[in-house]
């Protein structure tokens, strides 16, 4: 018998990938599937970005790069953060990562061990909890409530901090709720965190450009009092429709930077070279496709929220960011996961049950509106017929 360590049995998953696999299987059997499950833009990566990668390979950029990423890209990230949020970031604090996920993995690995506590949003991105459990640390959910517009509450978060708290994970705009935490609430949280200098903060801002209704993004880098213990997670996946390229970045405090660099050397050496050059073109080239994509998401957001609010037993708050709707389905009588899986099997509509994002996700489902308006309308029709005719299981 192989004797692996117990920690591996505690690693969780992202059920969106399992739903994607099942949806693909059903489609291969000839079923007409509408996938509102997976969280990735349905747009193509902008042409000039693809061309930059092709050119990089033609120009001979096919070898290892520095583990922390090529310098022009780290400089471009620093310049982009300065342009958008007027924050000073040294390119030497920026590390190019193979996607957004490795930053959460590394941060949680740096702070998690038995006996310590890590705070994370619930409902929230499932990988946070999965990795916390892997390290043996105690996962402490920070409730994200519908009645609070799916923003985190500074007061509630601060109350959960104990002498054992090592790391606080924040995510706004948020997956799966589309919630955006308003600046006064972030201000209050940061003011409270000043009383807890030993707590590190990992701010997942991967949806920072996907904001609606005139919202502006509050980047945690803008708060000097926490800069020495703040890790910023961001990347290209969502903003530039580049999920499959695997490209992200982190801004690390000085001490952690070298830990992260060494982890990279041990784990993957460097990010794919051509992808890094593509990322440079994305940041420094025209941004009109980003604006077009966000405007299209905004239109679909209206369609999806209106449609959901017409369904029997469903009510949906208007999300202010990302590309997810997180309707309340409690009055349908269905348990959220049973509803999601029965809908997929019987109507071919793929959505994700709220409990896949945490205990407080019960009573909700997540729909990604990264799909055409036509498909969204067809999905809503099918859901309406289903809910009107089918009794809760
Ligand atoms: C909140 C959040 N953070 C991070 C990620 C991971 O991004 P990537 O695909 O770049 O690893 C996602 C992807 O869905 C996400 O929703």
pLDDT tens digits, one per residue of 305-357: 999 999 999 999 999 999 999 999 999 999 999 999 999 999 999 999 999 99
Q: Is 14 in the pocket of ligand 1 (CB under 6 A)?
A: no
Q: Is 256 in the pocket of ligand 1 (CB under 6 A)?
A: no
pLDDT value, residue 232: 98
**Residue of 17, 120, 180, 237 best suited for mutating to test ligand 1, as the one with most atoms within 8 Å of CB:** 237
Q: Which atom of ligand 1 lies at the shortest distance from residue 99's CA?
A: 10
Q: Is 165 in the pocket of ligand 1 (CB under 6 A)?
A: no
105-143 pLDDT per residue, tens: 999 999 999 999 999 999 999 999 999 999 999 999 999
d(CA 297, CA 320): 11
Q: Is 321 in the pocket of ligand 1 (CB under 6 A)?
A: no
pLDDT value, residue 390: 81
Distance 167 CA to ligand 1 centre (A): 19
Q: Is 135 in the pocket of ligand 1 (CB under 6 A)?
A: no
pLDDT value, residue 201: 98
**Residue of 38, 97, 100 best suited for mutating to test ligand 1, as the one with most atoms within 8 Å of CB:** 100
Instruction: Give the helix/strand (H/E) hosting 230.
Output: strand 230-235
pLDDT value, residue 15: 85
Nearest CA among 15, 30, 34 for reference residue 348: 34
pLDDT over threshold 80, residue 391: no
Q: Is 125 in the pocket of ligand 1 (CB under 6 A)?
A: yes
pLDDT value, residue 344: 96
Q: Is 246 in the pocket of ligand 1 (CB under 6 A)?
A: no
Instruction: Give the helix/strand (H/E) hosting 288.
Output: helix 288-310
Q: Is 101 in the pocket of ligand 1 (CB under 6 A)?
A: yes
pLDDT value, residue 122: 98
Q: Is 357 in the pocket of ligand 1 (CB under 6 A)?
A: no
Q: Is the pTM of this model over 0.95?
A: yes
Q: Is 177 in the pocket of ligand 1 (CB under 6 A)?
A: no
Q: β-pairing, 365-368 with 324-325?
A: antiparallel
4-51 pLDDT per residue, tens: 999 999 999 888 888 889 999 999 999 999 999 988 888 999 999 999
Q: Is 234 in the pocket of ligand 1 (CB under 6 A)?
A: no
pLDDT value, residue 204: 98
pLDDT value, residue 39: 84
pLDDT over threshold 90, residue 392: no
**Dihedral sign, Cα of residue 261, residue 265, residue 266, residue 267:** positive
d(CA 84, CA 294): 16
Q: Is 243 in the pocket of ligand 1 (CB under 6 A)?
A: yes
Distance 142 CA to ligand 1 centre (A): 19
pLDDT over threshold 80, residue 289: yes
pLDDT value, residue 393: 72
The answer to whether the peptide bond before residue 176 is cis (omega within 30 degrees of 0) is yes
**Residue of 126, 128, 206 best suited for mutating to test ligand 1, as the one with most atoms within 8 Å of CB:** 206
What's the token pair of residue 22?
A: 């099942």
235-245 pLDDT per residue, tens: 999 999 999 99
Q: Residue 36, Cβ neighbours under 10 Å: how many?
A: 27
Average predicted confidence (pLDDT) for the chain: 96
140-197 pLDDT per residue, tens: 999 999 999 999 999 999 999 999 999 999 999 999 999 999 999 999 999 999 999 9
**Residue of 16, 128, 175, 232 best suited for mutating to test ligand 1, as the one with most atoms within 8 Å of CB:** 175
What's the token pair of residue 93?
A: 């604090």
Q: Is 275 in the pocket of ligand 1 (CB under 6 A)?
A: no
Q: Please, which residues have CB within 8 angstroms of residue 362's CB and are 6 or more apart in sequence?
A: 335, 336, 354, 355
d(CA 274, CA 58): 10
pLDDT over threshold 90, residue 294: yes
Distance 206 CA to ligand 1 centre (A): 7
Distance 313 CA to ligand 1 centre (A): 30
Q: Please, which residues have CB within 8 angstroms of residue 47's CB and are 6 or more apart in sequence?
A: none
Q: How far is CA 118 from CA 108, 110, 133, 170, 171, in A?
A: 8, 11, 10, 11, 14
pLDDT over threshold 80, residue 265: yes
Q: Is 238 in the pocket of ligand 1 (CB under 6 A)?
A: no
Q: Is 175 in the pocket of ligand 1 (CB under 6 A)?
A: yes
Q: β-pairing, 230-235 with 200-204?
A: parallel
Q: Please, which residues have CB within 8 angstroms of residue 192's CB and are 6 or more apart in sequence?
A: 154, 157, 158
Q: Is 324 in the pocket of ligand 1 (CB under 6 A)?
A: no
């Amino acid at each position: 018998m192989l004797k692996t360590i117990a920690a591996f049995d505690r690693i969780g998953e992202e059920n969106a990938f399992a739903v994607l696999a099942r949806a693909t299987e059903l489609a291969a059997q000839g079923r007409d599937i509408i996938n509102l499950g997976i969280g990735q833009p349905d747009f193509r990566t902008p042409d000039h970005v693809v061309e930059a990668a092709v050119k990089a390979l033609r120009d001979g950029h096919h070898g290892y790069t520095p583990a922390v990423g090529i310098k022009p890209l780290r400089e471009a990230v620093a310049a982009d953060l300065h342009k958008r949020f007027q924050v000073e970031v040294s390119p030497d604090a920026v590390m190019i990562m193979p996607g957004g996920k490795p930053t959460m993995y590394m941060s949680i690995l740096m702070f998690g061990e038995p006996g310590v506590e890590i705070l994370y949003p619930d409902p929230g991105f499932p990988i946070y909890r999965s990795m916390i459990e892997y390290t043996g640390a105690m996962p402490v959910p920070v409730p994200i409530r519908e009645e609070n517009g799916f923003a985190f509450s500074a007061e509630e978060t601060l109350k959960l901090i104990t002498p054992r708290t090592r790391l606080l994970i924040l995510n706004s705009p948020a997956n799966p709720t589309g919630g955006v935490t308003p600046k006064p609430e972030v201000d209050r949280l940061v003011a409270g965190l000043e009383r807890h200098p030993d707590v590190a903060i990992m701010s997942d801002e991967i949806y920072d450009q996907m904001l609606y209704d005139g919202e502006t993004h509050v980047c945690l880098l803008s708060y000097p009092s926490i800069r020495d213990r703040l890790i910023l997670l961001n990347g290209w996946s969502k903003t530039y429709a580049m999920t499959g390229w695997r490209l992200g970045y982190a801004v690390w405090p000085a001490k952690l930077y070298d830990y992260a660099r060494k982890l990279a050397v041990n784990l993957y050496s460097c990010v794919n070279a051509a992808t890094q050059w593509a990322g440079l073109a994305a940041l420094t080239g025209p941004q009109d496709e980003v604006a077009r994509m966000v405007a299209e998401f905004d239109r679909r957001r209206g369609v999806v929220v209106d449609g959901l609010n017409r369904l029997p037993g469903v009510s949906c708050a208007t999300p202010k960011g990302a590309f997810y709707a997180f309707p309340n389905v409690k009055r349908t009588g269905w348990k959220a996961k049973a509803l999601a899986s029965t809908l997929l099997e019987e109507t071919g509509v793929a959505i994700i049950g709220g409990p896949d994002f945490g205990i407080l996700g019960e009573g909700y489902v997540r729909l990604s509106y990264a799909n055409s308006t036509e498909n969204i309308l067809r999905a809503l029709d099918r859901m309406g017929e289903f809910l009107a005719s089918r009794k809760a299981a």
